[in-house]
Amino acid sequence: MAPFREGQSHTHPLQIFFVSREHAHGQLSEQRRIHRFRVDIIDVHEYFLQSSFPSKIGTMISNPFSGASSMKRSLPSSSSRPFLPFCIFLLTVGLRVSGVYAADRPNILFIAIDDQNDWIGPMGGHPMAKTPNLDKLASRGTCFLNAHCNAPLCNPSRTSLLLGLRPTTTGIYGLAPWFRTLPEWKDRVALPQHFANHGYRTAATGKIYHGGTGGGGNRPNAKKGSNPTVLPEFQVTAPFGGVGTKPPKKLIGETPMGNNPLMDWGVWPLDNDDTQKGDYQVASWTLEQIKSAPRDQPFFIAAGFFLPHVPCYATQKWFDLYPDDDSVLPTVLEGDRSDTPRFSWYIHWELPEPRLKWVKENNQWRNLVRSYLASTSFVDAQIGRLLAALEESGHAENTIVVVWGDHGWHLGEKEITGKNTLWDDGTRVPLLFAGPGIGQGKRCTQPAELLDIYPTLIDLTGVSPRNDLEGLSLIPQLKDATTKRERPAITSHNQGNHGIRSERWRYIHYADGSEELYDMVADPNEWKNLAGDPSMATIIAEHKKWLPKIDLPPAPNSANRVLTYDQKTDEAVWEGKTIRRSDPIPQ
């Protein structure tokens, strides 16, 4: 009998036995304990032939891990062989119950959009945004209008969502490290792995983790000779996604702060053919996975779209959806940063994304905004292809669809472009759920976090809960969108810098102690900082109590967009460079 192979947990009888016991006795331990007990079927047969089998099987039912280490003892005497038919019955019928149970669970279509702010139809962030497929999805589900990322940057945001832990708990704030390189998190069971452990077939392509699908599945994710029992992030993956076809040189010319090649946007390719774009290929592969999914096993299929991340290239037909005039520009306030603390610049001190001043002076502001909107509409069309595949394959009625963005993106607001901020433009994200058990056509204004996706999907599917997740289930709001939620949304960008977003207020606390407070009902653009108003002291205190109690420094090997602050010297360090109070703000 061939040994157990990764990605086959739903077919191996012994593995199914352990999953079944998990339903009865709670959360299985992390990967290393699960894999410790994967043995060849021949070993199970030998174990069943042992004379003490009846007492041992009773022990294993009450504690599935207690007797597994004894499975390779010597063969029993022939007196125990009458028990063999009973053992085979358990193996072929009783121990496969969890596989049948899993087949009845809803599927999951997990859609991520990179750098997507609230400029989509259901959220109303831009009055001209054209996203008919997301509009349709929202009409048959629930849209969270006050959802926020837990970190305004790709790697920490996605790591937080998929591990169910805050950045302040893991210390992952920058574009590095990959969490599996850290000893304390290398065996952490991530969201897709949790569903694989419960009989789901997991598949992914595009940008799910910051590094794509994170490796694994039918692609090797470990060097030769490394531990073969490490679970893949997904069982099946494909290397699609990213920019796709690119022009021979940047369309907008050189940009400040390093002329990063990603800082580009405009019409491309010129032949109006979308098929060579990475996101088109992500959708094509994903819809084939949907159509070919087995009927006797639930799926967790993830599609990660790159756009509207820079470079924002889109073909002309998507640009034609938006007028080529200044009516597309967001409303900004001249001198908006005059009442924000100097430390608000420290958390995006020097970035590849140009400031508003540069895009204005170089006649690129309108081009950037139209490129972003065109890219958003293009991605919406790809999501529409996936939703059509669900309908055509007959999976729509039994599939939970969740769409999320990893963080917001400024397009001139607060005098910048890009991310790395703690204002709504940097933290507010799409979060839509549709499918069985979810209210239709609902709009929820209660604060929600990307952290909440993990426990919510657990509750929606009925798989075993976990007691080590820092998010809260959104089931109450999915049943009734008006259900109040006490905890605000909390976003962190490096140690000591946190945004607290309740239903009405946004409070920001920086590492040097400086603060901001905005009334999001009276001032949705966050133009008037109320933190210095003595009458706001109670409001500030109410929000301040939600600052993370665990607030770790950056993890080892952290890099890119990492900021530290020394209170004794009043000096900050941004990406290895010291910042002093007298230093001019980079433009």
List residues bridging with 515 in a β-sheet. Answer: 509
- Three-state SS at 165: coil
The amino acid sitting at 30 is: E
Name the phi and psi angles at 584, rounded to 5.
-70, 145
Please list the alpha-helical segments (H only) found in 394-531.
Answer: 424-427, 453-461, 475-479
* 196 burial level (CB within 10 Å; 0-12, 13-18, 19+): buried
Catalytic one of 148, 198, 210, 493: 210
H or E element at residue 563: strand 563-566
Name the phi and psi angles at 276, rounded to 5.
-95, 5
- Strands annotated E in 243-378: 265-267, 299-305, 312-314
List residues bridging with 566 in a β-sheet. Answer: 571
Catalytic one of 87, 143, 149, 154: 154
Q: How many CB atoms lie within 10 A of CB 230?
A: 18
Known catalytic residue: 154? yes
Residue with tokens 């993370």: 548
Residue with tokens 């569903």: 195
Look at residues 436, 400, 435 and name the one whose alpha carbon lies nearest to residue 195: 400
- Three-state SS at 355: strand
Q: What is the DSSP string of 206-273?
A: ESSBTTBT-SBTTB--S-TTS-TTSPPSSSEEE---S-BS--SS-SS---TTT--TT--EEE--TT--
Residue with tokens 């204002």: 423
- Return the active site residues: 154, 210
